[in-house]
Structure 1
Amino acid sequence: MLNISPNKLNRKVDLMPFRSSQRVFHERDHKHFNRFLMVFSLIGFIVLFLPWTQTISGVGYLTTLNPEHRPQTIQSPIPGRIEKWFVQEGDFVNKGDTILFISEVKNEYFDPDLISRTGDQIRAKSLSVTSYQEKVKALNSQIGALQQERTLKLEQARNKLLQARLKVQSDSIDLEAAKTNITIAQRQYDRVVQLEREGLKAITDVEEKRLKLQETQAKLISQENTLLASKNEIINATVEINRIQAEYTDKISKAQSDMFTAQSNQFDSEAQVTKLENEYTNYEIRSQMYYIRAPQSGYINKAIQGGIGETFKEGDKLVGIMPSEYALAVETYVAPIDLPLIHIGEKVRIQFDGWPAIIFSGWPNVSYGTYGGKVVAIETFISSNGKYRILLAPDPDDHAWPKDIRVGSGANTLALLEDVPIWFELWRQLNGFPPNYYQPEDGMAQSNKK
């Protein structure tokens, strides 16, 4: 009776005599069906103009708002060997509690008295520094004494030079006097000789004047020798000054050289002391690293390195810990085309895995089992999965998140955008267009999506 064949049986065969046909084919049923179609069409047409909230869906998981609250592993900054465990998996530890004890595996740290012996070396080198300091002080005193002695010696030599110069002046005056005396004696001798020739003087007078002239000549020669000796004393005094300067310059330079050598040894010893103190501090800090302690209060999740006597390298993971106090957040991902529609402070609806929910993406007010979130961070660089990471915090204006959810569980998110008619949303979906681009103004977009 499907009227597939070109032979129209309904025109050749009358079905009305049959009881079943009488109960099906009658105008009253057609009238009710037509009314139903009209009402349904009218309701469907009205529904097309109802508001529909555009959304952006995402898939993520639970994490923590603060990085320090996330699960972490504890590493050892030094290589070692496990000697003793103080906890077991599932135990709660407070911040600073000892988790395990390790021992050294490097031979340069095997000495149990390494710290005390390094302290002895520091004390010995410190005494060496003190000795060099005292030697530098002694040499400085010696240099000061030499400089003072040089000053006195030079003053004495300069006085001798001044005396020699004054003596030269005195001898020069005496020489001039001797020259004057010889001139006078020569004149007297010539005058006596003339008078003797005239018979006015006796020969004895002539001889007396000649003797006096010779004595004056002898005194002149003696005075010239004395003047030359005085000039020679000036030269000797000048040479003595230069000798004193050279002698004490050599002595002071040698003392200064010894002082600089002592200072160099002092600085070298101080550098060695500083190096030993650095090593001493490093040894002390390293000895404290033998006890692996909890960085914060939490629960021991897993012992990554197990057993006793097992060795590990520096930086190897030893044990995992989950902080006991943390602020939950949801880490979700959105496609790059939807990133411009996400803003800090936007409202988001979240469905947690394991929590039943009835979701109407376009009508969030009638959804059941979803919880409110707020965008607090938007990653500016794309992730390895080709999407952008969005961090959501609990919405303080919505009801609190369930207490039994745990970090790492899954979550589905719906970011609430603009309200548009349903016919517009259908048209957008059929054409594959993205949601409307908009910018919230003074939080109005957020308040409209509550």
Structure 2
Amino acid sequence: MLNITNNKLHEKVNLLQYEAGKKVFNERNQKYFNRFLIAFGLILIIILFLPWTQTVAGKGYVTTLKPNQRPQTIQSPIPGRIEKWYVNEGDFVEEGDTILHISEVKNEYFDPQLVDRTGDQIKVKESSQNSYQNKIQFLTNQIGAIQQEKRLKIDQAKNKLQQSRLKFRSDSIDLEAAKTNLDIAERQFERAKTLNEEGLKSTTDLENSRLKLQEAQAKRVAQENKVLAARNEIINSQIELNRIEAEYGEKISKAQSDRSSAESALYQTQADISKLETSYANYDTRRGLYYIKAPQAGYINKAIKAGIGESFKEGEPLVGIMPSDYDIAVETFVAPIDMPLLHVGEEVRVQFDGWPAIVFSGWPNNSYGTYAAEIVAIENFISDNGKYRVLLAPKAEDHNWPEDIKIGAGASTLALLEDVPIWYEIWRQLNGFPPNYYSPENAEKTKVSKK
């Protein structure tokens, strides 16, 4: 009611005449009320000095501790078409169990005997390889035989050349002897002629001397012819030696060229064999990919490609599987301003969605329905939601987490930081300051052990 008059009601009306007024303005009641206010104030002051655990709140969901234990999809590394399903959604499969059968969609792999025919091609190429190896061996032996024959022919030609040189030397000596005999015959003829002119020798002796002179001249000419013939034999022997060198060099070169061609063909055949073996291994491996198998034991969640005859590309997810053996964990997200306050090994209280809980964030020991966890990993790169990801694992010393919690369920987390008085926490909250930054002892020990 608005106070629109200066007349005071309590001065004109006695409130004590009413029962309510008597109870309200009773001095005894005011005395008890004052005591209550004093006690409440003292209790409030005491409460302000009680310890309060600072916390960093986060929201996340249940996940697994190891990446290979999380739900995954099974893909095919090759494109294909679904032919037959061997499982239903919700079925449990062991590692290696066949999930579905697929067939080829590429025309180069349609041949059902592709692997066998490729193996036959490898055998043919291996036979060709053996033939080239034998040819190379034969040509190597042939080159060795030609070289041996060349050495013998050269030795024979050298011997003949040596014989020609010796014969030339012998004929040259005979030529010198013939020249000496000719000189003697000329001197004897001159003496005989002089003596004949003086009448000391007869004409018969002069004719005999002339005959001997002519015979010596003839022998000289004949011996010169022999020397020239021996010289020609030397030249012919040298020519023959060069001819043998050229002839057998050509034969060896031709054989070596044939061997090089065979080696080149051998190397090409080996390369073809290597390519065919690679193709054979690829085809054989591809044939084994026609049956999609379970990578680990788990439950079939959902058939992503559900039809018969439905085609898909390589890498496309076909079916989802949830591993049956996993270690549960919680993946939570914290604001960037709170991320420096968290350390690996710190304790965190976790409340699961749909699980009854009474939470006192500052008094974790008095909370009900929360479970202890510890930080095992902190992501150093911000996530798409603008927060940092923190991975939590169950704490071994505390109660076990509920077995009925499923992967993907929501979770709220409270990371426990430093203990401060309640009045300080109220003051911090009113001023919007972040929690105290500190390094716990276990974090320091972890850093020292890592170093």
> SS in structure 2 opposite 1:241?
helix
> SS in structure 2 opposite 1:331?
strand
Match of 2:139 in 1: 139
Match of 1:260 in 2: 260
Contact 2:87 2:99 in 1 (8 A): yes
Match of 2:211 in 1: 211
Match of 1:410 in 2: 410
Match of 1:150 in 2: 150
- Please report how far the alpha carbon of residue 294 of structure 1 lies from its aligned counterpart in structure 2 after TM superposition: 0.7
Match of 2:235 in 1: 235
Match of 1:283 in 2: 283
Alignment of 1:42-441 (within 5 A): 42-441=42-441
Find out whether 1:14 has 2:14 as its counterpart.
yes
Question: How many residues in Structure 1 have an aligned counterpart in Structure 2?
Answer: 446
> SS in structure 2 opposite 1:377?
strand
Contact 1:57 1:415 in 2 (8 A): yes
Cα separation, 2, equivalents of 1:21 and 1:50: 40
- Please report how far the alpha carbon of residue 361 of structure 1 lies from its aligned counterpart in structure 2 after TM superposition: 0.9
Moved more, 12-21 or 157-166: 12-21
Instruction: Read off the aligned partner of 1:294 and give its amino acid letter.
Output: A
Contact 2:343 2:443 in 1 (8 A): no
Superposition TM-score, scaled by structure 2 size: 0.94
List alignment gaps of at least 5 residues for structure 2.
447-451
Deviations 1:147-185 (A, max 9, x none): 111111111111111111112222222222222222222
Cα separation, 1, equivalents of 2:445 and 2:211: 144
Cα separation, 1, equivalents of 2:240 and 2:6: 153
- Please report how far the alpha carbon of residue 146 of structure 1 lies from its aligned counterpart in structure 2 after TM superposition: 1.3
- Please report how far the alpha carbon of residue 90 of structure 1 lies from its aligned counterpart in structure 2 after TM superposition: 0.8
> SS in structure 2 opposite 1:16?
helix
Provide the aligned C-alpha RMSD in A: 1.8
> SS in structure 2 opposite 1:426?
helix
Cα separation, 1, equivalents of 2:4 and 2:288: 93
Moved more, 175-184 or 238-247: 175-184
Cα separation, 1, equivalents of 2:286 and 2:126: 24
Contact 1:330 1:391 in 2 (8 A): yes
List alignment gaps of at least 5 residues for structure 1.
none
Cα separation, 2, equivalents of 1:145 and 1:7: 148
Match of 2:34 in 1: 34
Cα separation, 1, equivalents of 2:236 and 2:157: 10
Contact 1:3 1:9 in 2 (8 A): no
- Please report how far the alpha carbon of residue 193 of structure 1 lies from its aligned counterpart in structure 2 after TM superposition: 2.5
Cα separation, 2, equivalents of 1:150 and 1:301: 83
- Please report how far the alpha carbon of residue 89 of structure 1 lies from its aligned counterpart in structure 2 after TM superposition: 0.8
Deviations 1:318-367 (A, max 9, x none): 11111110011111111111111111111111111111111111111111
Moved more, 343-352 or 192-201: 192-201
Identity across matched positions, percent: 66
Contact 1:418 1:445 in 2 (8 A): no
Instruction: Read off the aligned partner of 2:361 and give its amino acid letter.
Output: S
- Please report how far the alpha carbon of residue 4 of structure 1 lies from its aligned counterpart in structure 2 after TM superposition: 7.1
Instruction: Read off the aligned partner of 1:9 and give its amino acid letter.
Output: L
> SS in structure 2 opposite 1:403?
coil
Moved more, 367-376 or 172-181: 172-181
Moved more, 160-169 or 108-117: 108-117
Moved more, 109-118 or 160-169: 109-118
Deviations 1:99-126 (A, max 9, x none): 1111222222222222222222222222
Contact 2:99 2:294 in 1 (8 A): yes
Deviations 1:7-29 (A, max 9, x none): 32223332222332112112222
> SS in structure 1 opposite 2:15?
coil
Superposition TM-score, scaled by structure 1 size: 0.95
Cα separation, 1, equivalents of 2:435 and 2:210: 148
